[in-house]
Structure 1
């Protein structure tokens, strides 16, 4: 049962980090928001590298990391842009598309067909998206789908979900060539070192903005650190599919944060939509 509580904690802390980032740093640009998320994680993660053993790292590992970092950076800044520009309840639920995209990429590139459970899960995710966008402005049968394209943060997070399908597959390959407890902190540190010099040189990030609210930044970093640590402890206790399925409850917490902290509207309808999307994720992850 401990694995379940840790997985649930990981989901809650993921949504908490998003809510704190939106609450305290939405006045910055998305690049600065993303770097604050990474930089304030470092004080919590760097000590872990002195605790875990460093496994042998071959050429294949470094090649995978080189392919991962640019895409992960693009996903991070799209993610920040999404939660900055739109309600949490209309952005975070779209992360539920990542497992569906993994099935679709498996079909397109490997010819792998989903079983009935996987196909049913995809249908539930799409149906949940429809319910999520049911409102007075979404006129006609196709209105809720058009609303996704009209809401900047929604289609951005949908793109993030697609990028995460790519990074999830490659990330798994990197973990198999290293160690889960090592790869977590290493990857965040590597991503920070990869992005920060470029963003400073191109003046997309102002140093003063990064240190303007240190305590709020530490709160964001602390929530993200708890999310990562609980994730990796949980995944060592149970099959990865079960842990990931529970962690996919994160959008549910995000919708609740949207209603409680930001006064977002139509939370009841959006909870119904995200509930259906999460049900689809459970089918895909556990049975698909």
Structure 2
């Protein structure tokens, strides 16, 4: 039984590492084809919600504790905000840069632990922070310009939005984990979609009332890309839920950072982004730092 759980968890982690960067590829392609980031996320939530109702008619709608509803509502709101900011960042930035920046999620978790839980990092944790900063230096700096490092790189719009996205998703992970433990990965996935869809519809009603028809037409014109996105996000999130159900949040987030390396490769393959070797080295250093913080810090 234990071996079955371990093998299932390992498969879920591996699936998430590979598929999540692929979903970023579809999101970036759609954003470049005039799809609004908010509409991209809303349609993804809506499709996955409908798919759940069709495929899993045994989903529970009653009998869940109040703590579940509190956790999943917060998780849905934070996940929605994180995903919208992520797609906005992908629209104007390079996937091979924004993927590795996600390693800062471990730093965010460490800082939250210091201020909220009084968890002071050890030497490995501090070493991990230094590695992430060093790796981001390699990823973000354009060596052809031969300019010195400046913290102004973090003022770039795409970097600021990516950092906002990872802050929201880092906190979202903790609430989602609680919701999963109070139900099942499948039930938590379904309501993650339901509340994400509800929140995006409210946002759309306030900001995209004049554009939703145009965006809907674009969805049908780009149906294969949207379909690929829906499938990738569904598989990635379900794999994340299975992993979170069977291992600590920190360990799961650390392993998920390995996808930074795949993001760099996808950025080169699909969008001809440059500096592939430099970004792979930087991403590798950042991944190492994230693992040090989460596992040993």
Match of 1:137 in 2: 145
Match of 2:239 in 1: 230
Rounded Cα–Cα distance in structure 2 between residues aligned with 1:56 and 1:104: 36
**Residue 253, structure 1, aligned to residue 262, structure 2:** yes
Match of 2:193 among 172, 188, 199: 188
Distance 1:174 1:230, change over 3 A: closer
Farther-moved stretch of structure 1 (245-254 vs 216-225): 245-254
Distance 1:25 1:51, change over 3 A: farther
2:43 aligns to what?
Answer: 36
Q: Normalization by structure 1: what TM-score?
A: 0.87
* 1:171 maps to 2:176: yes
Alignment match, 2:135: 128
Distance 1:28 1:9, change over 3 A: same
Contact 1:32–1:209, Cα closer than 8 Å, also in 2: yes
How many residue pairs were aligned? 285
Q: Which runs of 5+ in 1 are unaligned?
A: none
SS in structure 1 of the partner of residue 208 of structure 2: coil
The residue matched to 1:113 in structure 2 has which SS?
A: coil
Check conservation: 2:102, 2:163, Cα contact below 8 A.
yes
Assess, with a 3 A threshold, how the Cα gap between structure 1 residues 133 and 25 changes in structure 2: closer, same or farther: closer
Distance in structure 2 (CA, Å) of the matches to 1:65 and 1:185: 10
Preserved contact between residue 27 and residue 229 of structure 2 (Cα < 8 Å):
yes
Q: Deviations over 1:246-283 (max 9, x none)?
A: 32222211111100110001111111111111111111
Q: Distance in 2 between matches of 1:193 and 1:77?
A: 14
- Partner secondary structure for residue 100 of structure 1: helix
What's the counterpart of residue 22 of structure 1?
28
Residues 93, 24 of structure 1: alpha-carbon distance in 2 compared, 3 angstrom cutoff: same
- Normalising to structure 2: TM-score of the pair? 0.85
Runs of 4+ in 1 over 6 A off after TM superposition: none
Q: 1:101 to 1:109 in 2, by over 3 A?
A: same
For residues 20 and 154 of structure 1, do their structure 2 counterparts lie closer, same or farther at Cα, with a shift above 3 Å needed? same
Q: What is the root-mean-square deviation in Å for CA atoms of aligned residues? A: 2.5
Matched position secondary structure for 1:91: helix
Contact 1:200 1:206 in 2 (8 A): no
Q: Secondary structure at the residue paired with 2:102?
A: helix
1:58 deviation in Å? 2.5
Greater mean deviation of Cα atoms: 3-12 or 252-261: 3-12
Per-residue CA distance 1:34-65 (angstroms, 9 max, x = gap): 22332333344334542455673233333334
What residue ranges of structure 2 are gaps of 5+ in the alignment? 1-6
Offset at residue 208 of structure 1 (A): 4.0
The answer on whether the counterparts of 1:40 and 1:221 sit within 8 Å (CA) in structure 2 is: yes
Distance change >3 Å, CA 188–CA 137, structure 1 → 2: farther
